Amino acid sequence: MKTIFNAVVLVFLLGSCTSKTARITSHSDYNQYLIIKDNQSAAFAQREIDFWQAKYDKAPNQTSYLSQLATHYAKLFECTGQVKYLYKVEALLLQANKEYHEEAVGPLRSLGRNYISQHRFKEALVLANKALAIGEGIKETQKLLFDVNMELGNYKQAEHNLICITAKDDFDYLIRISKWNDHLGDLKMAITFMEKAKKVAEINDNKSLKIWTYSNLGDLNGHAGNMQASYHYYLKTLAVDPNNSYGLKGIAWIVFSHEKDTKEATRIIDIIAEKHQSPDFYLLKAQMAAFANNKIVQEANESAYFKMLHTIHYGAMYNKYNALIYADDKNTAHQALEIAKVEIDHRPTPDSYDLMAWAYYNLGEYKKALDIEQKYVVGQSFEPKLQFHLATIYKANNMMDKVAPLKEELLKSSFELGPNLEKKIRQL
């Protein structure tokens, strides 16, 4: 991914906004992961693809080889961020399911997971139910059903799916009960269960499971305001997978949100973006530019973000981000509203309804925004960004008695929300 900045603009951003906040990160901790040129995980995935493709070419009647290829293309997508590999996985699994006459639960579930990654949740649910009807490997199918129903906002059904897979020491159960508690707003329990999952991963010395738990513990501890633990777990993630872009991005967020060092955070993001293709990086740099009060750089990054979306087909994967960007400008808030309607059709979650409410708020329709929040968001989601929107809409409707307690809680989530929203929270 190439930067669109000219030298003058870049120097402006890199030199801005370093605060006196106590630093918890250190260049010496993570620089070693920024200078790595080769991605061993991606190289291994490519070798496996070459191996299985050669076998399939010699024996195209061996449908199981298609699933092997799909597994390694999925890994390649994870390593590089290139969405073409995600679509390759879909094509392989569609072929496998066709050859199996949709009677093999493994390929059905795998395609369902692929559709989740593509934000095609309703299609994923259809596949999960087909696998459930076959009746083989029911617990594995219940795990997929939990994941899909959480994405669709079918929380009662998701809870039922979770009960069906209850197993005290099962890794897959532990990470899902962690997610469930996070959804309920019990962050402490979410961390407790993720730590139990971490122990299972470490006892089994499973690389991929360790990466999963360490990176998630990095996120969860950050949300809890424990930056030191968050940083520690992102470093542990990188120790297992030196090319892990998620771990590096987590460190960049700490550098920006906690330490207010846009120069260093930008340096980290620029290096990651050279290796991992994702529009997210432009949005993060746009946030940093906004914090630096550099409207030119902010708009340049947002333009680069949308250019990337127009150049590469991402389907519905970035609808939420697009809606939030459009909603913040009254000239484009109508576009945000249209996207929100699509999202509600795709996944009628509190998050999707909040997008609609936020669009109406930015269009000046405060009462309509309040009605949506009260019906679909209040008491159904505890996500800080949704709570910020709710508090803002309460204020617009002169309900200041409801703003104060939300403001107090939001200030505790200022690291997760970032410096730009922290300023707005203090103004509530």
Residue 367: which H helix or E strand, with range? Answer: helix 366-376
The maximal CA–CA distance of the chain, rounded, in angstroms, is 71
Q: Is 31 helix (H, G, I), strand (E, B) or coil?
A: helix
Contact 83, 312 (CB under 8 A): yes
At 104 the pLDDT is 97
At 37 the pLDDT is 85
**Ramachandran quadrant class, 81 (left: phi over 0; alpha: psi -120 to 50; beta: rest):** left
Write out the two tokens for 198: 């971490």
User: Which residue's structure tokens are 């680069």?
Assistant: 304
Nearest-10 crossing angle of helices 207-223, 245-253:
20
At 1 the pLDDT is 39
At 169 the pLDDT is 85
At 244 the pLDDT is 95
**Ramachandran quadrant class, 418 (left: phi over 0; alpha: psi -120 to 50; beta: rest):** left
Task: Give the residue from 326, 309, 320 showing the smallest Cα distance to 360.
Answer: 326
At 357 the pLDDT is 97
Contact 194, 217 (CB under 8 A): yes
Contact 117, 144 (CB under 8 A): no
At 168 the pLDDT is 77
Q: How far apart are CA 216 and CA 93, in angstroms?
A: 28
- pLDDT per residue rounded down to tens, the chain (428 residues): 333 333 333 333 444 444 456 799 999 999 999 999 889 999 999 999 999 999 999 999 999 999 999 999 999 999 999 999 999 999 999 999 999 999 999 999 999 999 999 999 999 999 999 999 999 999 999 999 999 999 999 999 999 999 999 887 899 999 999 999 999 999 999 999 999 999 999 999 999 999 999 999 999 999 999 999 999 999 999 999 999 999 999 999 999 999 999 999 999 999 999 999 999 999 999 999 999 999 999 999 999 999 999 999 999 999 999 999 999 888 999 999 999 999 999 999 999 999 999 999 999 999 999 999 999 999 999 999 999 999 999 999 999 999 999 999 999 999 999 999 999 999 99
Write out the two tokens for 15: 């030199």
Long-range contacts, stretch 398-403, CB < 8 angstroms, 24+ apart: 399/370, 403/428
Torsion of Cα atoms, 85 then 88 then 89 then 93, to 10°: 180
CA-CA distances (angstroms) from residue 390 to 98, 175, 185, 207, 350? 46, 29, 16, 40, 11
Q: How far apart are CA 84 and CA 281, in angstroms?
A: 18
